[in-house]
Amino acid sequence: MVVRTQSATHSGPHGATVEIEASLQSALPAIVITGLPGDVVKESRERLRACLAGLGFPVPSSRVVVHLSPATTKKQGSQLDLGIAIALLAAEGKLDARRPIEHCAFLGELCLDGRLRGVSFALALAQALDRDPQIDHVLVAQENAAELALLESPKIRAFSSLTEVLEWMEAKSISPAKPQTIVPPEVPPDVSSWDQVQGQMLAKRALEIALAGHHHLLLVGPPGVGKSLLARSAASLIPRLDKGELIELVKSRGFYGSGDLWERPFRAPHHSASLQGLVGGGNGAQLECVEVTLAHGGILFLDELPEFRKDVLESLREPLQNGFVQLNRVGSQVILPADFLLIAAMNPCPCGYAFDTKRPCYCPPASSSAYRRKVSGPIYDRIDLCVVLGSPQSGDSASRDTAARVRERISRVRRLRRQEVGTGPIDLAEGPFALRGDSRLWCENLCEKNHLSFRSLHKTVRVARTVADLEGRDAIEVADLQEAWELRCRDFWK
């Protein structure tokens, strides 16, 4: 007799149903798992044997073949433990199931004493099972319950041990499914670091434009002028995550986390970060720890940009362009979402005082330009805005705009243009990026004078669109284009 039940596997944030089949054969007792099981799945044979024996089920009594289909997909992770245990018990005739096990799906790691442990990427796995019309119930570990409540699915039930699961399957205890609802807490944003930065009006304006329109930003300036403070204030200036974004984020990073989960991610990896750590390159990288994915939907802050390893910086080209990273691993390909806003900071020269009015810079010109060239052209090319910050002046005061007003403007513009954020070509004749009259003339002049490529022109117009939105204008005007062009900070690269 063949018994069937369901579980799931995942490739990064993409879950898929796995059918577990078990069949007894008359041969010496053994558990054989087929269907490309990974190392953790292979080990589950010993775990399950010990766990089930402890609960009074000495299995297997003969040879059991457990097959995981589709056979061509590699199955990784400990989430299959529970489903395989149920299939083994059913095949041995030790489960008096009142519920059809082929329409139940199981996710959970089994401890040797029968407790159920939560698994990583539970949200991706459970979402795939929840959407499968063949599946009526998804049984998960209690440890994953808070995370899975985000799905608000009536199919999902949480249990803390195998015994509880068996009791439910045998209809000895029926706990009605109560979909929980999750309401984001009202937390006032921490805008203290924005208010701490004195002066730096141009940088603050650039940051506001960057956050409103999702334009990558580079802050250049001597040490101690507030580059890091400004970058750190960024996450508090954009609206908190909504539920859909939180689900995306938890799915992609593979774990629920703790603390205020609705806060925008802000990741600031050190410049000694490895390729594996930043973009998940190499085969051994843990998918849960890839910085660009942890920053998905939020901000990636790279301080001291030229100090990052060249190959690490180059690897950012793909996520900056596409909003995801593609990892090629042995036998599989994983796509991880990585749609973040890049805020980078750097000194203009090795000593840091090249553009400073108060302190002299003694760096030889060749070393200054070599320092800047450590960051390649294609990376600079993907940065939309660049501002040079000077030393604070004695008359500088806090910004005339409070953080609350800036936040409000940014939220308004993000609501307006969210769907048009992107890097592809834009239509300059029709639609929101249309240039008319003086604006068109101004752009034609600009292209002629500066031999501007289409790509550079489109980038400038995109920024100008955000400026016009911040000012509440329907059409892009010359002033918007001028401001966008100034914020390209071309002089810095000469």
CA atoms within 13 A on the CB side of 438: 8
Report in angstroms how near the CB of residue 369 gets to Zn ion at its nearest.
11
Report in angstroms how near the CB of residue 198 gets to Zn ion at its nearest.
24
Determine if 234 is a binding residue for Zn ion (CB under 5 A).
no
Backbone angles phi, psi at 183, to 5 degrees: -115, 125
Q: Using CB under 5 A, which of 59, 341, 361, 383 touches Zn ion?
A: 361
**Span near Zn ion by CB under 5 A; candidates 75-83, 200-208, 336-344, 355-363:** 355-363
Which one-letter DSSP state was computed for residue 37? B
Bridge-partner residues for 217, per DSSP?
343, 385
Determine if 349 is a binding residue for Zn ion (CB under 5 A).
yes
Respond yes or no on whether the N-terminal peptide bond of residue 60 is cis (omega within 30° of 0). yes
Cβ within 8 Å of residue 56, ≥6 positions away: none
Report in angstroms how near the CB of residue 220 gets to Zn ion at its nearest.
12
What is the spatial distance between Cα 9 and Cα 122, in angstroms, rounded to a whole number? 10
Report in angstroms how near the CB of residue 304 gets to Zn ion at its nearest.
14
Report the run of H or E that residue 407 belongs to, with start and end.
helix 403-417
Q: Which one, 277 or 352, has the nearer CB to Zn ion?
A: 352
How many residues are present in the chain?
494
Determine if 220 is a binding residue for Zn ion (CB under 5 A).
no
Determine if 363 is a binding residue for Zn ion (CB under 5 A).
yes
What is the spatial distance between Cα 42 and Cα 39, in angstroms, rounded to a whole number? 5
Determine if 313 is a binding residue for Zn ion (CB under 5 A).
no
Report in angstroms how near the CB of residue 371 gets to Zn ion at its nearest.
8
The CA radius of gyration of the chain, in Å to the nearest whole number, is 28
Q: Which one, 294 or 363, has the nearer CB to Zn ion?
A: 363
Q: Which one, 363 or 481, has the nearer CB to Zn ion?
A: 363
Report in angstroms how near the CB of residue 349 gets to Zn ion at its nearest.
3
Q: What is the size of the binding site for Zn ion (CB under 5 A)?
A: 5
Chain CA centroid to CA 153, Å: 23
| E-strand stretches of 275-357 | 299-302, 324-329, 332-337, 341-346
Q: Using CB under 5 A, which of 104, 162, 294, 351 touches Zn ion?
A: 351
Instruction: Read off the tokens for 172.
Output: 């000895």
Determine if 388 is a binding residue for Zn ion (CB under 5 A).
no
Q: Which one, 106 or 371, has the nearer CB to Zn ion?
A: 371
Instruction: Read off the tokens for 167.
Output: 């009791």
Determine if 124 is a binding residue for Zn ion (CB under 5 A).
no
Q: Which one, 101 or 349, has the nearer CB to Zn ion?
A: 349
3-class state of residue 452 by DSSP: coil
Report in angstroms how near the CB of residue 374 gets to Zn ion at its nearest.
14
Report in angstroms how near the CB of residue 302 gets to Zn ion at its nearest.
21
What is the spatial distance between Cα 274 and Cα 291, in angstroms, rounded to a whole number? 10
Q: Which one, 235 or 361, has the nearer CB to Zn ion?
A: 361
The residues that touch Zn ion, with contacts defined as CB under 5 A, are 349, 351, 354, 361, 363
